[in-house]
Amino acid sequence: MKTGRIIRSLSGYYDIQLDGTEEIQRTRARGEFRNSKQKPLVGDFVDFESDRDEGLIWAIHDRRNVLVRPPVANIDIAVIVTAVKEPNFTANLLDRQLVALEAAGVDPLIYFSKFDLLSSKERQMMKQVVQDYRQIGYPVIESTAPNAFDQLKAELQDNVSVFMGQTGAGKSTLLNHLSPNLGLETGEVSKALSRGKHTTRQVTLIRVGDALIADTPGFSSYEVFDFSAETLDDFFPEFVAVRSNCRFRGCLHLNEPACAVKEAVTVGTISQSRYNSYKAFYQLIKAQKPKYKTDN
């Protein structure tokens, strides 16, 4: 029996890199996984047997975390590539991504791109936004910082990472700069739809120096929140830091009196935009139709 990490999945086949080596072997998953509704994912550590490149996965190790879309497990860092212009910065989208990662147990890193397109007045406003996220405790890199690229590479070293970001944020450009071998397609933001075509059809972990980067068909885990509205504040670290001071246990930080979160917003230790995102997400979750699990 051998142990390794799945670095690619495609059409029911799984390419596994053996522990401590560069050797890669191709396998399939045992039928029992389908029966138990388990599925190996890229990033999984697995036990497998192989003979002449015809292998079978026998066991999946416990996962530290997992994302559903894209399907990747055991991620160390998710880099959120966030444009400050073209397309214009929206706190709501960034906060959605941060909440989704907090819920999945994945550490985020915010990379603000296109700082060079800002006017001096716009730059001053964005500097305050950057400071707000740093104050929460999120690691932040500004694209125009003198050591921005080296700082990013240092963060990725010896880690498994995924890159996420809306079309036009510069994700593909940044990945190509990290490794020209990736050859990802880039293009201008669609003026009509602000959407791009996903050109990748599989999930792959690509080695870039001492880092493993997931090359994925797109990132949509933040489109629907798969948890209750009552637990939403668990995924706002600055809310968690003060909510024990709320008068009422289980405070939702909406209409309750003596709410420590709302008081923090009033005095400016929690940003108004973050609180606005919280309220919007709360209403969004409440409006979502419940999901019912079936046995099929």
Q: Which residues are annotated as a binding site for Zn(2+)?
A: 246, 251, 253, 259
Q: Which residue ranges make up the annotated binding site for GTP? A: 113-116, 165-173
CA-to-CA distance for 16 and 217, rounded, in angstroms? 20
Burial class (CB in 10 A: 0-12, 13-18, 19+), 218: middle
Enumerate the H helices of the chain as residue ranges.
31-35, 91-104, 120-136, 148-156, 171-178, 237-242, 260-267, 272-287
* Alpha-carbon Rg for the chain in angstroms: 21
Q: Which residue ranges make up the annotated binding site? A: 113-116, 165-173, 246, 251, 253, 259
H or E element, residue 296: none
Least Cα distance to 81 among 146, 177, 197 occurs for 177
